[in-house]
């Protein structure tokens, strides 16, 4: 994958448009940034550009205003958050194109940074509109994409815009993501274990099919496991099942058999009659889910078996929780897997918002080799898809 890196670019005295992913959460009471993980992830790129004398023009989408100016979806709070992190004021432009943007950029001096207003206030952003991209291109001499979380979207600021700018490259965060994920599909260190979970098989079917030939073992949990168990003729009670995909699940199981891959499904389950924190629950074997009960977590035998497989791995990729981890007491399986991954000697990659939240809540995030900032982007990358925002950076 031949992508120009930031170190290869001449940026001193140049206007550098840096596409970031500042789609953060705001505190409902104060209106200020609540979780600034996505802000801090881009700071290394911003600081390097500033240190090298660039005039940094930051842009991002924020929420879904659908092409309209929605005051509560303004990026202004992010400018304040950036100012605190960088130790200097980051001016805020009232628009991302037009005279407000041009005037703000014209005031920049070498080593300074500013933030443009929400790109999605203009319909042209999500439409990948060439004219909107040209207006953005007028603001810069160099384009840097550091928004891996938006790389799977063919939107103007990640697709049409870089095609207009010969001086384009990936930022430090973008390259960190690519450098971590690309080897998983090429030559991972073995044994390579993939852990997949989440609610539905439909959202993971392509990554299942793409990763299975590349990995040595696949561990499946979460709601998606029950479509597989249903396909095997096992009782699933009221557990989440995509009945129309049992055929696809059976095909994946057959693919694993033909390839000689280890594909593990839950050996036991934590079940309850209701999806409630105080609902009575119990542990049952793989074939013992009663009618009227639903599986909400993997059981202790499954945790033990999955932990054994993870301990043998040299590479682990995890996407999707093993149960309804946001609702105690049905979080034990997911947290146990998180701790097993963190405690292994493997190079570990965790992607997907819920999996990232799980390793954070389990207090083990610092022991994960790489935590991806892009849920949908990382999933599509693992499916083997060409992400528009990355493909356009390839020379």
Sheet (strand 347-351) strand order: 262-264, 217-220, 192-196, 315-319, 347-351, 370-371
Active-site residue identified among 123, 200, 261, 312 = 200
- What CA–CA distance (Å, rounded) separates 219 from 167? 43
Burial of 85 (0-12, 13-18, 19+ CB in 10 A): middle
Active-site residue identified among 353, 363, 384, 386 = 353
Tokens of 358: 């799980």
Label the pairing between strands 55-59 and 113-115: parallel
- Is 200 designated active site? yes
> What ranges in 92-129 are assigned the alpha helix state H?
98-106, 123-126
- Is 376 designated active site? yes
Neighbours of 372 (CB within 10 A): 26
> What is the b/e burial string over 290-313, where b = at least 16 CB atoms within 10 angstroms of the residue's CB?
eeebbbbbbbeebbebbbebbeeb
Active-site residue identified among 38, 52, 153, 214 = 38
- Is 209 designated active site? no
Asked if 277 contacts 328 with a C-beta cutoff of 8 angstroms, the reply is: yes
- Is 353 designated active site? yes
Q: Which residues are catalytic?
A: 38, 200, 353, 376
């Amino acid at each position: 994958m031949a992508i120009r890196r930031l170190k290869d670019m001449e940026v001193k005295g140049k206007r550098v448009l840096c596409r970031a992913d500042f789609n953060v959460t705001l505190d409902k009471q104060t209106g200020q940034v609540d979780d600034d993980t996505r802000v801090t992830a881009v700071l290394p790129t911003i600081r390097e550009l500033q240190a090298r004398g660039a005039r940094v023009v930051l842009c991002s989408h924020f929420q879904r205003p659908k092409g309209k100016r929605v005051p509560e979806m303004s990026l202004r709070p992010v400018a304040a958050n950036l100012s605190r992190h960088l130790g200097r004021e980051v001016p805020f432009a009232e628009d991302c194109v037009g005279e407000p943007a041009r005037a703000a950029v014209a005031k920049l001096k070498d080593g300074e940074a500013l933030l443009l207003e929400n790109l999605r206030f203009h319909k042209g952003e999500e439409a990948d509109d060439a004219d909107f991209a040209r207006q953005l291109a007028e603001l810069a001499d160099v384009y840097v994409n550091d928004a891996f979380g938006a790389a799977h979207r063919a939107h103007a600021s990640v697709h049409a815009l870089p095609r207009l700018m010969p001086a384009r490259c990936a930022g430090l965060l973008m390259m960190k993501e690519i450098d971590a994920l690309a080897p998983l599909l090429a030559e991972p260190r073995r044994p390579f274990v993939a852990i997949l979970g989440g609610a539905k098989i439909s959202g993971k079917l392509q990554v299942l099919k793409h990763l299975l030939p590349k990995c040595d073992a696949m561990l499946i949990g979460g709601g998606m496991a029950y479509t597989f168990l249903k396909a095997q003729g096992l009782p699933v009670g009221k557990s989440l099942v995509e009945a129309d995909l049992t055929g696809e699940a059976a095909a994946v199981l057959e693919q694993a058999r033909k390839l000689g891959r280890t594909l593990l499904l839950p050996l036991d389950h934590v079940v309850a009659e209701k999806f409630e924190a105080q609902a009575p629950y119990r542990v049952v074997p793989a074939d013992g889910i009663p009618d009227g009960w639903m599986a909400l977590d993997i059981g202790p035998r499954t945790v033990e078996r999955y932990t054994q497989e993870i301990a043998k791995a040299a590479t682990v990729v995890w996407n999707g929780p093993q149960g309804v981890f946001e609702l105690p007491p049905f979080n034990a399986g997911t947290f146990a897997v998180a701790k097993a991954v963190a405690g292994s000697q493997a190079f570990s990659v965790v992607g997907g918002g819920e999996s990232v939240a799980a390793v954070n809540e389990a207090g083990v995030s610092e022991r994960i080799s790489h935590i991806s900032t892009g849920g949908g982007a990382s999933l599509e990358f693992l499916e083997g898809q060409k992400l528009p925002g990355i493909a356009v950076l390839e020379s």
